[in-house]
Amino acid sequence: MSRVLAALLAMPIVALSAAAWAGDAAVRSPLADEPPDVPSTAVPGAAGPHLTWLGYPRRVPRAWSASRDTPAMNMIVLPRAAEMAGGDLSLFTLAFNRWSLRSGFAGFVELETDAKTSGTNAGGIPWGKGKILWRGSYAYFAAFSLDSIGRSMCEGCAVEVTLQYRHESQHYTGSNTGAGGEEDATPEPFVGDNLIFDLASLQRTGNWFLAERAIGMWFLPDRSSYSAGAAMDVHARYLRFARVQPFISGYAEHLWGDTLQGREFPNAFRVRALIGISLMSSLGEILIYGAGDVGNRYGIRGLTEEATLGLGIRLALAAGAAGR
Structure confidence by residue, pLDDT tens digits, 44-56: 445 568 899 988 8
Give the residue-averaged pLDDT of 247-251: 97
Give the pairing of strands 126-127 and 100-113.
unpaired
Coil/strand/helix, residue 48:
coil
Give the pairing of strands 226-238 and 244-257.
antiparallel
Of 174, 172, 79, which is closest to residue 127 (Cα–Cα)?
Answer: 79
Q: Is it the case that residue 28 has pLDDT exceeding 50? A: no
User: Cα(189)–Cα(212) distance, rounded to whole angstroms?
Assistant: 28
Does residue 124 or residue 101 have the better pLDDT? 101
Structure confidence by residue, pLDDT tens digits, 162-207: 999 999 998 887 655 555 556 777 788 889 999 999 999 999 888 9
State the pLDDT at residue 324: 46
CB atoms within 10 A of CB 120: 12
State the pLDDT at residue 179: 53
- The residue ranges of every structural domain in the chain are 2-322
Does residue 86 or residue 1 have the better pLDDT? 86
Q: Is it the case that residue 3 has pLDDT exceeding 60? A: no
Per-residue b or e along 167-206, where b marks 16 or more CB atoms closer than 10 Å to that residue's CB: bbbbebeeebeeeeeeeebeebbbbbbbebebebbbbbee
Q: Is it the case that residue 254 has pLDDT exceeding 60? A: yes
Stated pTM of the model: 0.83
Of 39, 141, 41, which is closest to residue 90 (Cα–Cα)?
Answer: 141
CB atoms within 10 A of CB 45: 5
Q: Is it the case that residue 21 has pLDDT exceeding 80? A: no
Give the Å distances, CA to CA, from 209 to 1, 17, 29, 88, 212.
43, 23, 10, 22, 11
Structure confidence by residue, pLDDT tens digits, 62-102: 999 999 999 999 999 999 999 999 999 999 999 998 999 99
**How much is the mean pLDDT over the chain?**
83
CATH (residue range 2-322)? 2.40.230
Instruction: Please give the backbone phi and psi of residue 248, each rounded to the nearest 5 degrees, phi first.
Output: -140, 135
Instruction: Give Cβ neighbours of residue 168 (< 8 Å, ≥ 6 apart).
Output: 69, 135, 136, 137, 191, 192
